[in-house]
Structure 1
Amino acid sequence: MSVTALDRSVALPADVDQPAPRGGAVDLVEVGRAFSGTGGRRDVLRDLTVQIRAGEILAVVGPSGCGKSTLLRVIGGLDRPTAGAVTVAGQPVVDTDARTAIAFQEPRLLPWRTLAQNVELGLPQGTGRRAGRARVAELLELVGLTASADLNPRQVSGGMAQRASLARALARGPEVLLLDEPFGALDALTRLRMQDLLLQVHAVEPTTVVLVTHDVEEALFLADRVLLLRTLTPEDGSSSVARILTAPGERPRDRAEAAFADLRADLLTGLGVDTHHASPL
C-alpha cells in the first residue's frame, strides 16, 4: 500500500490489515558517554536505561547540550558509549550498524544527482538493479515524489528535499530509523505536513523510530512515548533520564485536546519554561 498525499489521514483503511512492526527493539542499559577536554572529563550521558519497543516511535527532548544527538549516534553505532550496553533486537550495536539509518536536519543530498539517484544511495549493498529500481520507485511514491524523481535537489523545495532524505534512509530497510531534528529547518506549515507524512510512512513501514526534537508539541503529536533528558552537572551524579511520558490517545492526535495541552505544559516545565498554563478543574 502506498501513500502519496500529504494531507491524507494517517490511519489505514479499516479493511486493510495493520502491518506488523518490523523494527527492532532497542535496549539501552546504564549507558554513559563522557568526553575529555582541557577542563577535564565531562559526562554528556550518564546511567541511561531505556527499553524501546519494536515499532515504537520514541521522541527525545531536552535542553541544548543534554546529549540528545549523542544518544542517536550511540544507538546507530556512530559513537561508542564509555559505559553500559546498547542492543538492537538483542544483538550488540556495532560500528555504523547496518540495522539502523539516520536522517539529519539538513537533507544532505548530493546536488549533482537526481532525487531518485539520491534515494538509490540508501539501498543495501548488493541490491540488484531491477529490485533497486522497484524499491526506489516504491519509496518515492510513498513520500509523494514520483513526479519529481528526475529533478535535482536545487530544483525542489526544502520540504521535498527532506522527503527524499527520509526515503533514502528507508531504502536501507532499517530496523531502527534515527531522526535528528529532521523538520527543524522547515517553515511552520511544511513542518506540520512533514509530521503527518512521517506518520503515514510509519503506518506503511512500521520500523522503530527514535526522533530527536526541540519541539514539545511535535514530540507529543508523533510519539508513543517521550524521553526527557536533563543536562548533567558534575556535582549531582543523576541519571540523564529526567522523565519518560506516555503520549495521550491514539494517532492521529488532536493538538487541542486537554490531555495533550496538559502534557505539553508538563514537558515545557521540565525544560525550565514557564507556560502559565492552568489545568481545567
Structure 2
Amino acid sequence: MVSMPPSAAPSHASGRPANALRLTGVGRAFAGERGARDVLRDVNIDLIPGEILAIVGASGCGKSTLLRLVGGLDIPTRGSILIDGTGVTDTDERTATAVQEPRLLPWRTLAENVEIGLPRGTGRRAAKQRVAELLHLVGLDHAADQRPREVSGGMAQRTSLARALARDPGVLLLDEPFGALDALTRLRMQDLLLDIHTAQPTTIVLVTHDVEEALFLADRVILLRPIANSGAGSIAREITVPGHQPRDRADRRLADLRADLLEGLGVDTHHHQHHQKEKSR
C-alpha cells in the first residue's frame, strides 16, 4: 500500500504555459501485405490550454497511436497536429509522456530518475532545486535517495510522473498511467493528478480503459470506435463532463454517463446490473 499526502503544496509553478492542441482530419495508415491499413481516420480534436481530455475505446482502436502522433513519435498519414498553432516536430519538446510501466533506471535513485527529464542545459543548482520541488509535488521528498527496487509500484509511478513534469510540458500525454496499480492506489493517484494539475496546470491527454477514471478526471471524454468494414479508429462520441474538479465519485450524473460510455464500448450494462443483483441475494 502506498502512502501519499491528500494534497501537495509545491513551491514552483511551471515555467511553460499550458498549450492549445488541435488535430484536424488526422489519420494514420500502416503498410501491409494487402496494402495500406488504416488505424486512425478523420480524428478532429480541439483543446484549450489547461483542458483535460480522456480517450477511451476498445483495445486496438488507435488510442496509443494517437498519443504517439501528438508527441511527435510518429507522423500522421493525413491531417495536421498543431500545438499553439505550430506543427508537432519529432519528439516535440512541448510534450512529455508517462505510460503504464514507470521505466525507471534501476541503478539510479528516484531523484536521479526525475533529473533525467529536465531540459538539456539545466544548471546543476537549478536541477537540484527543480528535482526537489517535483519530488515534493508527488509526495516523495522522503524517498529521493531510494532506488526503484526499494519502493512500491505507486511510488515508482509517481516518480515517472515527476520525470515527465520535469520537462515543463505544455501538453502532458498519459497512456494508461495507473493501469498496473491496485484499486486503492489508483484512486489516490487520480486525486494526486488533479492536485498536480491545479499546482502546475498543463493540457492533459489521458488514454484509459477505465471509464470511471475518465469521467472523474477529464473535462471531456472521447470515445474511439472502429469504423465498420475498415477497423480504423474514429471518434464515435464526445462527452462534456458536468461539474468541476474535484468531482464527487458518487455523482449520479457520472453514473449515467458511465453507463452510456460502456454501452458505446459494447458492454451490456443491463445484463451487468442484473448479474450484480443476483450475486447480492
TM-score (norm 2): 0.90
- Using the alignment, how far apart are the partners of 2:78 and 2:33 within structure 1? 21
Match status 1:98 vs 2:97: no
Partner of 1:85: 80
- Using the alignment, how far apart are the partners of 1:78 and 1:175 within structure 2? 16
Any stretches of 5+ residues in structure 2 without a counterpart? Answer: 275-281
1:179–1:19 CA distance, 2 compared to 1 (3 A):
closer
- AA in 1 matched with 2:172: L
Partner of 1:273: 267
- Using the alignment, how far apart are the partners of 2:252 and 2:143 within structure 1? 40
Q: CA deviation at 1:257?
A: 1.3
Contact 1:21 1:206 in 2 (8 A): no
Partner of 2:252: 258
Contact 1:43 1:232 in 2 (8 A): no
Q: CA deviation at 1:6?
A: 3.4
Q: CA deviation at 1:255?
A: 1.5
Contact 1:6 1:193 in 2 (8 A): no
Any stretches of 5+ residues in structure 1 without a counterpart? Answer: 13-17
Q: How does 1:113-262 map to 2 (within 5 A)?
A: 113-235=108-230, 240-262=234-256
Contact 2:39 2:233 in 1 (8 A): no
Q: Render the CA deviation track for 1:180-206: whole Å, top value 9, x for unaligned.
A: 000000000100000000000000001
- Using the alignment, how far apart are the partners of 1:234 and 1:102 within structure 2? 32
Aligned with 1:230: secondary structure? Answer: strand
Aligned with 2:122: secondary structure? Answer: coil
- Using the alignment, how far apart are the partners of 1:150 and 1:30 within structure 2? 47
Partner of 2:6: 7
1:20–1:109 CA distance, 2 compared to 1 (3 A):
closer
Partner of 1:15: none
Contact 1:221 1:255 in 2 (8 A): yes
Q: CA deviation at 1:239?
A: 7.2
1:185–1:239 CA distance, 2 compared to 1 (3 A):
closer
Q: CA RMSD in A?
A: 2.1
- Using the alignment, how far apart are the partners of 2:55 and 2:16 within structure 1? 20
- AA in 2 matched with 1:242: A
1:77–1:132 CA distance, 2 compared to 1 (3 A):
same
Q: CA deviation at 1:148?
A: 0.1
- Using the alignment, how far apart are the partners of 1:243 and 1:20 within structure 2? 34
Partner of 2:50: 55
Aligned with 1:244: secondary structure? Answer: strand
Count of residues paired in the alignment? 267
Contact 1:6 1:194 in 2 (8 A): no
Q: CA deviation at 1:235?
A: 5.0
Contact 2:226 2:233 in 1 (8 A): no
Consecutive aligned runs of 4 or more in structure 1 exceeding 6 Å deviation: 18-21
